[in-house]
Amino acid sequence: MLNYKDVTQKARLSNADAIASTLLAMGASFLGEDHQHDTYFRVQNGKLKYRKGTLGTLITHYERVAVGLLEKTHVSRYDVNPSEAEVQQLFATAERIGETQKIRKQYQHQNVTIHLDELPNGENYIEVEAKDYSNLYAETDLQQQCKALFEKLGISTNALVETGYL
């Protein structure tokens, strides 16, 4: 397991442009737009994913566990910009089980990363990840950060969805 805490919450959006404006008004920084193609592979637990994006690539193995209306993420592999050999080895040795594509607009507000995702079918989602790399926050603090941001953005609990598009 990697040494950090991550609590995630995701919801369906009907007003992504208004949410983006509100995030900027709150002081969030816009980090960029990433066109992502995710390939998922069969594993015993969690998800093994290769992400090829316009802002970079990633191989990650993670598991999300429900904690009430939120999810806690356990990460066992997180390789940013893996070599071509690592990518080829993954595709040669692991069984592919699915693919997704999306356009992701990324924002940062303190230790919270916000993703506004648009799927090819036009559906929009928000994913909020409260992260702690330095053991500064209790898990309950991270949970409260997600909940508070959703409240500030006016996102109701009725719009919440389980994490993942696969």
Read off the pLDDT of residues 11-26 as tens digits, 9 standing for 90 and up. 999 999 999 999 999 9
pLDDT higher than 80, residue 118: yes
Strands (E), 42-123: 47-53, 56-67, 70-80, 96-109, 112-118
Q: How far apart are the first and last CA of the chain?
A: 23
Q: Which pLDDT belongs to residue 19? A: 97
Between CA 152 and CA 142 the distance in angstroms is: 15
CB 73 within 8 A of CB 7: yes
Whole-prediction pTM: 0.91
Report, as an integer, the average pLDDT of 134-147. 93
Mean pLDDT across the chain: 93
pLDDT higher than 60, residue 1: no
pLDDT, tens digit, for every residue of 52-74?
A: 999 999 999 999 888 888 888 88
Q: Which pLDDT belongs to residue 95? A: 97
Q: Which pLDDT belongs to residue 4? A: 75
pLDDT higher than 80, residue 134: yes
Coil, helix or strand for 123?
coil
CATH architecture of the domain formed by 5-161: Beta Barrel (2.40)
Between CA 5 and CA 43 the distance in angstroms is: 22
Coil, helix or strand for 25?
helix
CB 124 within 8 A of CB 3: no
Sign of CA dihedral 56, 59, 79, 149: positive
Q: Which pLDDT belongs to residue 40? A: 97
